[in-house]
Chain A
Amino acid sequence: MTTKTRWTKNTLIFGGVAIWGLLLISCVTVNRAVLAPPSVPGAKFVGSKECAQCHDDQTSHFGSASHAKLGLKDDKGNDSSCEACHGPGSIHVKAGGGKGNIVNPRKSPETCFQCHLDKRGQFSLPHSHPVLEGRISCVDCHEVHSGNAIRGTGADLEAQNETCTKCHTQQKGPFVFEHAALKEGCISCHSPHGSVNQKMLVARDANLCLRCHLESPSIPNAGQINANAILSTPENHNTRLMQGTCWSAGCHEAPHGSNVNNHFRR
């Protein structure tokens, strides 16, 4: 059924010969640079003050940004300066601005992955927001130039879920019967950067729900799985759980909130 990928000795020998030969050719014929992304070949660091000359709207509030917490007393462009994320800016400054001569994290997440390596892995999973494909960018959800990077946290005026519901409007509500889990946040059930599970769920099975809705074993049903924590319906859910997840067809199909059923059944 499955096809095995085979790494034979021939693969290594011929691959090695090919790479060896190509690099030998390049060694004697060229003398120019190639850099790993994100980078700007030939550029040098100039410091954040240069950036503020034109981008004051971005730099003036950076002190309040989450990333500014990493700033050192004598930061020389390494940890929280503009060029930590946008790359060395000398060519950009010399050209008086422009595209292509400065790293734009909106175009590529590589800048963010330099520190948030784990997010590269999550976005590489089969169920993830299409950041690696370039359809959306990290800054569509995160505020990097001022305030909290995770919007809606701390004392922000906006709510954290607004980051999600600006696109996923159907889940915004309000509903007649709202699932209280939404107050815990969309990330209670979804891993927004990516997951091995469909819909970026943190768990694909009934464990997702039972984390909060695991009833204690009552005397008549001692030792049984029973997911009736919210209202007093003494129905045994063993048979239901054998069949599928809590939100499978015919069951609690409206996990974000329902306009007809307080058990989110439809």
Chain B
Amino acid sequence: MQAIYLNFRRSASVLAGLALVLGAVGVKADPTATPTNQSDAFPIFENYLTLAGQASSLSGDKAAFQSVTQQPKSGSLGIEDFHYGKDLANNKSLSFDGRAMSGTDDYLGKLSFAKTDVGSFEMGYKTFRTYYDGVGGFFPLSNTWLPMSPEGLHVDRGSFWVEGKLTLPNAPAITLKYTNDTRRGKKDSTIWGDSDFTGLPNNNSPISQVRKFIPSYLKLDERHQALEASMHHTVGKTSVQVTLLEDKVDNLDTRYVTRFPGEVKLFPTPAATVRVPSANMNNQIVQDQVDGTKAKTFMGRINTETVLTDKVKLLAGFSFQDISNDFSGDRPLFTSTPTKVGVIVVPTNNNLNLLGNAKSTIYTGNIALDTKPTPNSSLKVSLRGEDNYTKAHGSLTSVTAAVNTTTGVVTVTQTPQVEYSRVKETSWTPVLDLGYTGFSNVSLYASGSKSMATGDEYYATPYGTPSPAASALAYNNPSQDHAYYNVGANWRQSSYLTVRADLFYKDNSTRSTGYSIDVGNNYQLDTQFTGVKFSVIVKPLATVTSTSRLVYQKGKAQVTGYLATTPEYDSMDAKNYTFSETVDWTPTAQLYVQANANLVFNVISTIYPRAGTTPATATAVAFSTNGVLQNSNNNNFTGSLLTGAVLTKLDDLQLQLTYYRADNGNSQLAVLTMPYGVVAKEFSVTAGLKHKFSNRLIGNLKVGYYDSQNDTTGGRTNFHGPQAYMSLAYAF
């Protein structure tokens, strides 16, 4: 009885609370509110300086916080936004924009100058930081999680640019722009290393005890410069755009991977049937893969548009690209190897002093007739053609090592190797676009395109003899067809209802047909995707708008392998349903509510559940191959609620909630594979108050709470805690 009473009281209390919340909203829900007085509204500043700061008090994994929220754990402080603009004499204007936030390393400086009918000049520099966490994977059977130290990573992206435009009347408009973009820092990689710390036995062939969940990271040092000049001019009924581009890439990226960290085999090696500790199942290998790229691109492009009649336009374009990539690389490996005299670190190298060049020459042209046969219809017929020739060659040294396990002496052998490849490809793409607006309040459109590419390819994989062995050579004729068709409509039934639909179908086929010594070495892939995007916008009341959207896509693929006897095989069955909803409700001029929800069902299926059972052999046990790989589920839900209200003459209130959930995990898979399914839940709530101190000073205060739970990492990257943000905007 007591329990029933308590339940009743709890239910009554909850209902009372809900009634208060809804009542609070309801008290303002008067669509016939009196006209608003805009003079009390927050002013729009022309020239202003906004100072801001943000801080948080977190419990849990701070690197995960940074990665999820893209905010630094230590907070940030500085100039969030600065703008100064001034109209000068003689139709000139000058403006300066800036930002300088320490903590997030978010900086901007931009200077703009313009003179009417003459041109403009702009230069600036900006940089911002993006955060990553090097946590790798979590192995549930042994509860093992081996994150990097330190766990937090970041990359700084910078961009400097200077641009001048000359826009004299009745003269060609000329633009010259230089950009220098950089990416520097460290980010995580999904190329995870191996570990035997899984709790699985090492003598249960063919069930591997190894799982790859050791984090790795990339160190980026990338620079990208581009100098672009363009000219646009209209002569008579023809307008011409000419663009010249010189582009340089200079990257030196290194991937740091450790395989089997902390492990080294026993010496002498025990029999395969002996169960050994995890720390003795394999040998640690430290590898640093260095990839250098110095690429230069020269591109020239011309586009023309000629008005032939008031119903017909002719469009034509041509571009030439020359891309030359001087690549370099190095991939040293240091393997901890047990010997009679102790553990020896043996240096080898998959490729040492890799040097080479890959060069592409690409000619592309297009032509189109854009017509309006009737006032309500449009028809555009286009054709694109491209010729691509890529030739590459390289040299490297393969380094192997032999260890005398008695003396520990290492004998290194270096083998110089060379390689080459050449690919020719020609493609044609006809395109048809149709439009019709003859029905009242309806627009209809359709388009279809089919890209058809054929080519010739041969290559030699790295070889050390004077001429490559047949096994190092490949000859084939690749071909690709990509067809895309869609039809769509926009129907504005009334001011209350709008319906939009877009149906599409994609049909792709890829062929690689071997010839010469590769006769019969074929590969075929066919894919088909069908889908629809369907939107409904309903405005049942002047104060309410509901927008619903369904995106559905279904894909199938069939692959046929190299063996002449292997039939076509269904290799993919993918489905995606995305249901989205936004409701905007403005019950009065002093209150708005916006609710968003996004529900996704996404599954990609390949072999599962058809893989069957792998039969036992004399040396291996039978097992369910279905357990090695199950469907890739990427289901998730995201939602948000935003509401703002006029609180007083000088104050606005804003409340925001966000929610994310994914539940795609199955730790039971760990017995036979590495479970990757994402299981996470995040929630945040923020309350903000905007206050007008004066017509020149506006303050903004937000306090919030963030809670993130991630079972994909066994809860090791959970975090929660309050956050606060404050800003002051001053107009001058």
Contacts and interface: CB of A to CB of B under 8 A. Distances in A.
A235 interface: no
A216 B560 contact: yes
Contacts of A12: 13-14, 16-18, 20-21
B291 to A, nearest CB: 7
Nearest to B39: A32
B535 A20 contact: no
Contact of A262 (B301, B461, B682): B461
A24 B194 CA distance: 62
Interface in B625-639: 625, 628-629, 631-632, 634, 636, 638
A173 B680 CA distance: 36
Nearest to A73: B437
B714 interface: yes
A170 B251 contact: yes
A42 B38 contact: yes
Interface in A1-54: 1-3, 5, 9-13, 15-17, 19-27, 29-36, 41-42
B289 A184 contact: no
Given A170-B293, A212-B559, A225-B625, A117 B598 contact: yes
Interface string A138-177: 0000000000000001111110000000010110111111
A12 B12 CA distance: 12
A103 to B, nearest CB: 12
Nearest to B211: A243
B350 A266 contact: yes
B634 A205 contact: no
A36 B17 contact: no
Q: Is the interface of B mostly helix, strand, loop or mixed?
A: strand
A34 B628 contact: no
Contacts of A155: 366, 368, 382-384, 429, 431, 449
Contacts of A202: 604, 634
Contacts of B50: none
B592 to A, nearest CB: 4
Contacts of A29: 648-649
A124 interface: yes
A71 B378 CA distance: 12
Contact of A23 (B28, B625, B680): B28
Contacts of B714: 1
B648 A25 contact: yes
B18 A198 contact: no
A250 B259 CA distance: 8
B402 interface: no
Contacts of B647: 22, 25-26, 30
A26 B259 contact: no
Contacts of A73: 376, 437-438, 440, 443
A139 to B, nearest CB: 16
Interface residues of B, number: 210
B351 A266 contact: yes
A207 B596 contact: no
Interface string B64-77: 00011010000000
Interface string A242-253: 111101111001
Contacts of A205: 629, 632, 673-674, 676
Given A117-B581, A223-B611, A232 B521 contact: yes
B19 interface: yes
Contact of A174 (B210, B360, B480): B360
Contact of B358 (A135, A176, A199): A176
B113 to A, nearest CB: 16
Given A154-B382, A155-B368, A225-B625, A169 B222 contact: yes
Given A9-B14, A216-B569, A244-B212, A178 B551 contact: no
Contact of A42 (B41, B631, B677): B41
B492 interface: yes
A195 interface: yes
B598 A126 contact: no
Contacts of B557: 211-212
A243 B441 CA distance: 58
Interface in B413-464: 419-421, 423, 429, 431, 433, 435, 437-438, 440-443, 445, 447, 449, 453, 459, 461-462
Contacts of B212: 243-245, 248-249
Contacts of A154: 382, 384, 429, 431, 433, 447, 449
B161 interface: no
Interface string A233-266: 0000011011111011110010000011110001
A27 B28 contact: yes
B45 A30 contact: no
Which of B183, B429, B613, B647: most chain A Cβ within 10 A? B647
A58 interface: no
Interface residues of A, number: 125
Given A20-B20, A231-B562, A34 B644 contact: yes
Contacts of B400: none
Given A9-B10, A25-B648, A204-B632, A215 B561 contact: yes
B443 A196 contact: no
Given A214-B606, A248-B192, A260-B462, A20 B629 contact: no
B182 to A, nearest CB: 11
Given A117-B596, A154-B382, A244 B648 contact: no
A182 B172 CA distance: 38
B646 A30 contact: yes
A62 B606 CA distance: 42
B350 A260 contact: yes
Contacts of B607: 210, 214, 225
A13 B360 contact: no
B364 A157 contact: yes
A202 B664 CA distance: 14
Given A169-B251, A242-B673, A259-B329, A36 B644 contact: yes
A5 B661 CA distance: 13
Interface stretch (B273-281, B336-344, B583-591): B583-591
B253 interface: yes
A215 B566 CA distance: 8
Contacts of A101: 44
Contact of A229 (B561, B631, B645): B561
A169 B566 CA distance: 38
Interface string B669-680: 000111011101
Contacts of B523: 229-230
A239 B295 CA distance: 38
Contacts of A218: 563, 565-566
Interface in B566-594: 566-569, 571-572, 574, 578, 580-582, 584, 586, 589-594
Contacts of B287: 249
Interface stretch (B146-154, B263-271, B389-397, B404-412): B389-397
Contact of A16 (B20, B70, B396): B20
Contacts of B107: none
B730 interface: no
Contacts of A176: 356, 358, 392-394, 419-421, 459
B645 A32 contact: no
Give the most central of A3, A20, A23, A178: most B CB within 10 Å. Answer: A23
Given A26-B648, A154-B431, A196-B678, A35 B586 contact: yes
A234 to B, nearest CB: 9
Contacts of B605: 207
Contact of B678 (A31, A64, A204, A216): A204
B726 to A, nearest CB: 18
Contacts of B447: 154
In the A-B complex, the 8 residue pairs with the smallest Cβ-Cβ separation, listed nearest first, are A121-B598, A12-B17, A16-B20, A244-B212, A223-B612, A20-B24, A117-B580, A155-B382
Given A25-B648, A212-B559, 10 more contacts: A16-B19, A22-B645, A31-B37, A35-B644, A120-B580, A174-B390, A249-B191, A249-B216, A260-B351, A260-B462
9 contacts: A125-B638, A157-B364, A206-B629, A212-B525, A212-B557, A243-B210, A244-B213, A248-B192, A259-B327
